[in-house]
Amino acid sequence: MAEKSEKAEKDKKAAKPKKVEAPARKAEKPAVKEAVKEEAAVDVHKKELAAHPPAEAPKPKEAEKPVAAEKPVASEPAAPKAPRAKKGAKKPKEKSVVARGKRKMAVARASIRGGKGVVRVNHVLLDAYANPYVREIIREPLRYVGPEANAINVSVNVFGGGAMGQAQAARTAIANALVQYFDSMNLKEKFNEIDRSLIIEDTRRVESKKYRGPKARARYQKSYR
């Protein structure tokens, strides 16, 4: 009887359906969790990119292609270079003229250069001289030149003699300097026609005093009465 009961239990156990284990489901659960985590991480990364877009990365430079060696071309001879101006080279000097004039014991030297028509005698403006007759004698050669006289400066140094002798010496010196400065105006012929003494120095001098008289030729008178 015991054997029959054991067989009956075995047959029941065999008849009952065996529970099938689902190992795949157990394996799927961690895989699903990981996929969800990855999707969430991707969403967070996209939001960060939208808020702070990354700077564009520099494009990679293309590899330079090797250039084929060109054939040497015969170069033309270089033109000779113009000589460079030396540093501190002197500028061309302005035109200037110096001339001399004499009258009696007075000697005058006049210098002329470009300017604004200023006339000085012994570093004093000609208009500052009080004697109008002296001013006219000194200025006489400039009146014959014309408007060109306003484009020059005249400086006269004179010494010796008296006031009239110095004025006439300065007049001759200025006239000779104008002839040299305006060489294309034929002033020499013009001055000769107007007054020869403008450009030619007067050689006359005062005769010296002798003894037995108050002057060069006068003599003391003798009276017998």
Q: What is the pLDDT of residues 112-140, one digit of tens each?
A: 999 999 999 999 999 999 999 999 999 99
Report domain extents, the chain. Answer: 96-198
Tell me how far apart the alpha carbons of residues 207 and 215 are, in angstroms, rounded to a whole number. Answer: 9
Classify strands 106-114 and 124-125 as parallel, antiparallel or unpaired.
unpaired
Give the CATH number of domain 96-198; options: 1.10.10.1100, 3.40.50.300, 3.30.230.10, 3.40.50.970: 3.30.230.10
Report the residue count for the chain.
225
pLDDT of residue 67: 57
Please give the Cα distance from 126 to 48 (Å, whole number): 95
**Strand (E) positions, the chain?**
96-103, 106-114, 119-121, 124-125, 152-159
Q: Please identify every stretch of the chain with a pLDDT value under 50, giving residue numbers as ranges.
A: 24, 26-28
pLDDT of residue 27: 46
Over the Cα atoms of the chain, what is R_g? 62
**Burial of 191: CB neighbours in 10 Å, binned 0-12, 13-18, 19+:** buried
